[in-house]
Structure 1
Amino acid sequence: MQFQVMNSPFSQEQVELLNRLVPTLTESQQIWLSGYFTATQNSNTTLHTATEVTTVITTDSPVAISREVTVLFGSQTGNSQGLAKALTIKLEQLGFQVTLSSMSDFKSNTLKKVKNLLIVASTHGEGTPPDNAIPFYEFLHSKRAPQLEDLQFSVLALGDSSYEFYCQTGKDFDKRLEELGGKRLSTRVDCDLDYDDSAADWIENVLANLNKKLESTGPAQGTTLTETGTVAEQSAYSRTSPFKAEVLENLNLNGRGSDRETRHLELSLEGSNFHYEPGDCVGIYPENSLSLVESLIENMGWKPEELVSVNKKGEERSLREALLNNFEITVLTKPLLEQAAKLSSNKSLEELVEPGHEVELRNYLDGRDLLDLVQDFSPWKGTVQEFVSILRKMPPRLYSIASSSKARPDEVHLTIRTVQYESHGRERYGVCSTQCAERLEPGEQLSMYIHHNPNFKLPANSDTPIIMIGPGTGVAPFRAFLEEREESSAEGKAWLFYGDQHLLTDFLYQLDFQRWVKEGVLTRMDVAFSRDTDKKVYVQHRMLEKSRELYQWLENGASVYICGDEKHMAHDVHNTLITILEQEGGKSTEEAVAYLNDMQQQKRYQRDVY
């Protein structure tokens, strides 16, 4: 329908604006506007300028139980939590009464009462739930889980398709809720690293289906929404619209003779309006190696200047530029090979992705890139556009922030270890780390954004003692923690366990930590350099040596933070904490595990692991 001045109460200018806007609105956007105008007829809304926002909507009738929605998230780095919050805002705008909760904070015995359940869950490591999802996951898969015949649910699963158990946690939730009698409100959506579009589609579908099922109940009744808080001025830059940050400094932290290279990057945030806290990360969109791109183009016989579409909007780039900046070409995934098999005339690729060849496929994916694929399974058919359309978008690389914004306004510091290794007869390089080490000079720019991680934060009370365990580049966020506590004159004690290979060449930020020990910002520091002694010594060995003191710190309310490799270090440290609780606290293994679980519930045990 076209609006006209004659058939509406609008002016000519308003009609022109409406005729441009309305045809572009999705169904859920139209529903939102309808609900918004209905609600504002009988609402009192007060907006305070500057940074404080208070909104109150009140009507008289009782809340219809069918409009209650529970949103649960399981998140390790904050992606799922951020999406769950975005979903909650949209639901509240449509008049739903929403309970938003981390899975670790959700009271499982109330699940039977939930009628509409929306789950946003990431998969951590090799198919395991993130830390704050474990209690709910275990409850749901136990004999105590209730039958849920009255439940409507939908699951948004986040993962990384380069892992074998892609989105496994979300798949498990989806399957188990169905087994317990729940009915799907919307089909589960599995999101790869470039989750923005898929997540937006899932949210839109969920909102539309909720409204279709509840439209007979009419507009929202009896809803009282109160949101009061301090809202920082928002940055115009984000994950989908990164900021071009100037490189101020790029130094190698390792000494001469080390077989490692760790870069200390200082980036200018001037003009970005970014706000961050210790524990947050920086997401960097890197550039692929030019030599790899050129080898790929040459092997396929493509023309580097041919234009290709790089997104759903139809934006075009030259093939060379697209392969450099827009697509991931250094990692192979199962979904990629399944799509590539349709474009290859080589039957062996089709056989590799067929059921029954999982072991061979897993072995092939390990340590190979797109150049290997095109060389191993030629000849290829189809257009250049068809081929690049199956490639995954270039995912950002996340790095823990190694600075405090209080100490260094308009700057952010990062600690990045260069990744280089040999595989299948070729040298391989980490995309972002090698760019930073070899092709990034002060004055140049990096595309970046701030990734907030609410699951790795200093205690609200600065008097709380903290224990930080971070070998290698895992020490980065603890440099930020200590800068922050120095600036705020925190009174709480701090204990750092740090390790690497050699004391003389690999002690990252040695002068900073020694100064903090001298000044009392860092109460104590224990280090382990594994290659300086005949018997390798790691941080968990130092923890055992100080087990009595460490246990006393725990009993006195200390918060524990672990950052670094999950598969080995974090696993070993976790088991060491259990051993200390058993030995020094006289607890059984079950009691020690329960002790750590309770710490986790209290947010006294936090991990930033990868």
Structure 2
Amino acid sequence: MSADNIVTETLMVQADEPMMDTFDLVFLLTAGVMAILYLYKETLFGNNKIVTPQQPISTPLPKPVTPPKKDRDFLKKMRETDKNVILFYGSQTGTAEDYASRLAKEGQQRFGLKTMTIDIEDCNMALLDKFPEDCIAFFLMATYGEGEPTDDAVDFWELITSDSPEFSDGAPIEDKPLSSFRYVVFALGNKTYEHFNAVGRTVDAKLTEFGATRIGERGEGDDDGSLEEDFLGWKEDMWKAVCEIMQVDQSGVEAGGHVAAYKISELDADDSEKVYYGEYNEHALMTNGIRPTYDAKNPYISPIVATRELFNPNLIDRNCIHMELDITGSGIDYETGDHVAVWPMNAEQNVERLLKILGLWEKRDTIITVESIDPSATKKYPFPVPTTYATIFRNYLDIHAPISRQSIATLANFAPTEEGKSKLSNLGSDKEVYRVEVSDAYLSLGELLESISPNGKPLDSVPLDFIIETLPRLQPRYYSISSSSKSTPKTIHITATVLSFNPTTTPHRKVYGLATNYLLQINRKLRNVHHPETLPSYSYSGPRNKYHDEGSNLIKLPIHVRHTNFKLPKNSKTPVVMVGPGTGVAPFRGFVIERTLSKAQGEEVGETILFFGCRRRDEDFLYENEFAELFATLGERGKLITAFSREQAHKVYVQHKLNENSSHLWNLIHNLGGYFYVCGDAKSMARDVNTSLIQIAQSCGGMDEVRATNYVKDLRSKGRYQEDVWS
């Protein structure tokens, strides 16, 4: 109720009562005025709190702003734009989105289908039962982590896996609410994970269960093998099946030609405040004091408050960085075991290479806009615009990513010489040659273009819209948080090994990991460390000097937090066994800190065992002194077991140490209900650890191999065997 209403109600009561004396009238009027002053005190007088010397002055946080809700009725969009094929994608790194865009364009250009692509989180999927019978839906679904949906597919996952999805209106499955729904599915995943392509497979099974009809075979791509080849090998037969259902000419037109998808216009620099120089959305350009919500689409620019090298400084070719990020005032919360995403930028050497080979170096700061030519496109702009040529290659496109074989075949049309055209055509048609010279060599687009340029001259014949359409968007890189939210709730710690190597196919070249080398160079800059290797270098200042001002010793990183299910048991008495060699120890540092805090607070803490492995104690033993103190605090209930692989003639790994302690581990897990955690390399370590646990179940539990394997699988299903692994 407003102050105006308070005064009005007071006077109305007075009108119905006998006449009062002057004192009463003055008293009531004074009370009304005081009420107004109280309610509007901050507006009239400002927030002038008296602060004692012990109470620091703090600026109140602006209220978060919630972006307006999107219209999620995808059927309405299909009707308005006259589409008969919709391609839904659930993508974490951008690959599923890229494949959806490629299929949409191919379906339109080769077969005359009327296609549209859309992020599945922007759709109300409860409308599936109303999907037109003469239309087809594609699902390109990536699996993240241990069988989890990507961030943008969480809502759809919960819908499709529920016992009574909204589109069924509570009807039993037997009623087949999706009996007229036809779909295509391609699953993206990694075979090194336990739940390979779990999301795509489950979506396929659930749609069928509700009566839908799949067209063609389900496609499955393995990122640990050759995802691109899996995709290319699947789609031709898929198109034949789709064309038959849609009754279109299956011959289509020859694949490989290029039709522009984007219109690029150069602009006058009349309003630089509205130009994006690396910002990710409109919130970053706002100056109205409203704090947005920080998430996967709007990162927080976090100050780096500490950084250090974790490996022995005498190692000249190996680095591991510890970095601490301040999230005070951001509204971001994290839990121990979560992931932090770092939004990197491309190295300046690679930005310059691509700008020069495309003949754009002299115009690098020219302001441009890039807009979809298709007026019905769900994404009108591929990235924030207006922007500049340099910004596109520095902040918005992943110029390090190897170009696909299909795109190289198209690129051959723009080769300036017959020799260059022949080379690209061969790379685009021969998958073995492509694997050796592009994929295994980690050859970037800039390097590939330089290889076909006569005398290093710019390739003016290559259209920029093709480059924009071909290269994936620059995506954040995810790291297991190595701090405890209970210990440092306003600081996030990262532990990252720096990636750089010489490919076996091209040993004369050195390839640098994108985000980890960015972190390494920031570490060196902040600590004023001079190193003989100066590459790669980065534009540390960021857009409008928001990341770094040369006059200060402060650098910021754009980040967001991804919540995971990788968590300690709620009961601190439960024993935990953790296996984390190398930087796989990152989340377990947070776990051990948290267990130590629980003990300090008087809680009973169950046995806490950490298996850690590295090459040598004196080279890469991460957090050695810190772990010594933590486990000393845990006392007899804590134990750190190490494996140094190169300190003896035969290599010793964490799985060997597991076998050495098999009886004790079996007692903790089987008899005491302990939890088992693994973090690190999925391709070999995690598999070997899983095998070791099966062997322990056989030797200590008296099980045969089948029963032991099922026992370990049961631990996983109950959440007592958890993995946070990567390939």
Same fold (TM over 0.5): yes
Identify the residue that residue 352 of structure 2 maps to in structure 1: 294
CA contact (8 A) 2:575 2:674 kept: yes
How has the CA–CA distance of structure 1 residues 162 and 553 changed in structure 2, closer, same or farther, with 3 Å as cutoff?
Answer: closer
TM-superposed deviation, 1:587? 1.6
Counterparts of 2:224 and 2:639, CA distance in 1: 40
CA gap of 1:490–1:352, structure 2 versus 1, over 3 A, is farther
What is the DSSP-based 3-state SS (H/G/I as helix, E as strand, rest coil) of the residue aligned with 2:724? strand
Tell me the distance in 2 between the aligned counterparts of 1:265 and 1:280: 16
Shift of 1:298: 2.7
Query: Is the aligned partner of 1:459 residue 2:529?
Result: no
Is 2:581 aligned against 1:581? no
Query: What is the alpha-carbon distance in structure 1 between the residues aligned to residue 152 and residue 360 of structure 2?
Result: 39
1:524-569, Cα deviation, whole Å (9 max, x unpaired): 1110111111111111111111111112222121111111111121
2:474 paired with 1:394: yes
CA RMSD after TM alignment: 4.6
CA positional deviation for 1:582:
1.8
Task: Give the match's secondary structure for 1:459.
Answer: coil
Work out the CA distance in 1 between the residues paired with 2:184 and 2:338: 24
Unaligned residue ranges in structure 2 (runs of 5+): 1-67, 78-126, 131-138, 247-290, 371-380, 527-552
SS class of match (1:292) = helix
CA distance in 1, matches of 2:207, 2:297: 40
Give the equivalent residue in structure 2 for 1:344: 415
Matched, 1:497 2:607: no
- In percent, how many aligned pairs have the same letter? 26
- Cα-to-partner distance string for 1:496-545 (whole Å, 9 max, x where unaligned): 10000110221111122111211117621110111111111111111111
Given candidates 582, 585, 596, the residue that maps to 1:475 is 585
- Write the letter of the residue equivalent to 2:307: N
Letter in 2 for 1:83: D
Say yes or no: does 1:558 pair with 2:700: no
Q: Which one of the candidate residues 420, 428, 432 is aligned to 2:511?
A: 428
Query: Aligned in 2, Cα 1:534/1:447: closer, same or farther, shift over 3 Å?
Result: same
Which residue is 2:392 aligned to? Answer: 322
Q: Counterpart of 1:405? A: 485
Q: Where does residue 131 of structure 1 map in the other structure? A: 195
Residue 507 of structure 1 aligns with which residue?
A: 621
**Residue aligning to 2:436:** 363
342 and 549 in structure 1: CA distance in 2 versus 1, 3 angstrom threshold: farther
Three-state SS of the structure 2 residue aligned to 1:458 is coil
Distance 2:409 2:562 in 1: 32
Rounded Cα–Cα distance in structure 2 between residues aligned with 1:470 and 1:98: 46
Shift of 1:589: 1.4
Counterpart of 1:124, as a letter, is G
- Aligned residue for 2:684, secondary structure, equals helix
Which residue of structure 2 aligns with residue 486 of structure 1?
A: 596
- The yes-or-no answer on 1:87 pairing with 2:156 is yes
The unaligned stretches of length 5 or more in structure 1 are: 1-20, 32-63, 100-109, 185-233
1:75-474 paired onto structure 2 within 5 Å = 75-76=144-145, 80=149, 82-87=151-156, 96=167, 115-116=177-178, 123-125=188-190, 127=191, 131=195, 150-151=211-212, 164-165=226-227, 236-258=293-315, 259-303=317-361, 304-309=364-369, 311-312=381-382, 315-334=385-404, 336-345=407-416, 346-352=420-426, 354-355=428-429, 357-364=430-437, 365-366=439-440, 367-378=442-453, 380=459, 381-423=461-503, 424=506, 425-440=508-523, 441=526, 443-454=554-565, 456-474=566-584
Letter in 2 for 1:482: V
Instruction: Please tell me whether Structure 1 or Structure 2 has the larger radius of gyration of its CA atoms.
Output: 2
Please give the alpha-carbon distance, in whole angstroms, between the structure 2 residues aligned to 1:498 and 1:597.
Answer: 24
How far off is 1:238 after superposition? 1.1
* Equivalent residue letter for 1:280: D
1:449 aligned counterpart, secondary structure: strand
Per the alignment, residue 661 of structure 2 pairs with: 546
Deviation at 1:151, TM superposition (A): 3.2
Q: Deviations over 1:215-236 (max 9, x none)?
A: xxxxxxxxxxxxxxxxxxx971
Q: Would the aligned equivalents of 2:187 and 2:201 in 1 still touch at CA under 8 Å?
A: no
Give distance in 1, aligned partners of 2:482 and 2:354. 36
1:305 deviation in Å? 2.2
Q: Secondary structure at the match of 1:520?
A: helix
Match of 1:202 in 2: none
Equivalent pair of 1:464/1:493 in contact (CA under 8 Å): yes
CA contact (8 A) 2:146 2:195 kept: no
Q: Say whether the 8 Å CA contact 1:339–1:390 is kept in structure 2.
A: no
**Deviation for aligned residue 1:370:** 2.2
The CA distance in 2 between the partners of 1:504 and 1:588, in whole Å, is 41
> Aligned equivalents of 1:122 and 1:487: distance in 2?
42
Letter in 1 for 2:665: L
**Deviation of 1:302 (Å):** 2.1
CA distance in 1, matches of 2:159, 2:668: 43
Q: Does 1:532 align with 2:532?
A: no
Deviation (angstroms), 1:147: 8.5
**What CA distance in whole angstroms lies between the structure 2 residues aligned with 1:297 and 1:90?**
45
Residues in 2 aligned to 1:605 and 1:167: alpha-carbon distance in whole angstroms: 33
Deviation at 1:307, TM superposition (A): 3.8
Supply the distance in 2 between the matched residues of 1:578 and 1:602 (Cα, whole angstroms).
16
Query: C-alpha displacement at 1:342, in angstroms?
Result: 4.4
Between the aligned partners of 2:226 and 2:496, the Cα distance in structure 1 is: 26
CA contact (8 A) 1:467 1:561 kept: yes
Selected match of 1:601 from 711, 717, 724 = 717
TM-superposed CA distance for 1:159, in Å, is 7.6
Q: Distance in 1 between matches of 2:71 and 2:201?
A: 37
Tell me how far apart the structure 1 counterparts of residues 594 and 74 of structure 2 sit (CA, whole Å): 43
Contact 1:235 1:274 (C-alpha < 8 Å) held by counterparts: no
Greater CA drift, 245-254 or 367-376: 367-376
**Contact conserved, 1:494 with 1:524, CA < 8 A, in 2?**
yes
Aligned pairs, number:
488
CA 1:313 to 1:541, structure 2 compared with 1: closer, same or farther past 3 Å?
A: closer
Q: For residues 567 and 229 of structure 2, what CA distance do their matches in structure 1 show?
A: 26
| Conserved? CA contact 1:309–1:385, under 8 Å | no
| AA in 2 matched with 1:551 | W
Question: TM-score, with normalisation over the residues of structure 1?
Answer: 0.69
Q: Any idea what the Cα deviations from partners look like across 1:42-71, whole Å, max 9, x if unmatched?
A: xxxxxxxxxxxxxxxxxxxxxx9979xxx9
1:298-342 CA distances to partner (integer Å, 9 max, x unpaired)?
A: 333322224454643661322222212111112204255355344
Tell me which residue corresponds to 1:3. none
Encode CA deviations 1:361-419: one digit per residue, 9 max, x unaligned.
Answer: 12221222223211223464233344234221111111100011210021100001111
SS in 2 for 1:351: helix
d(CA) in 1 for partners of 2:229 and 2:428? 20
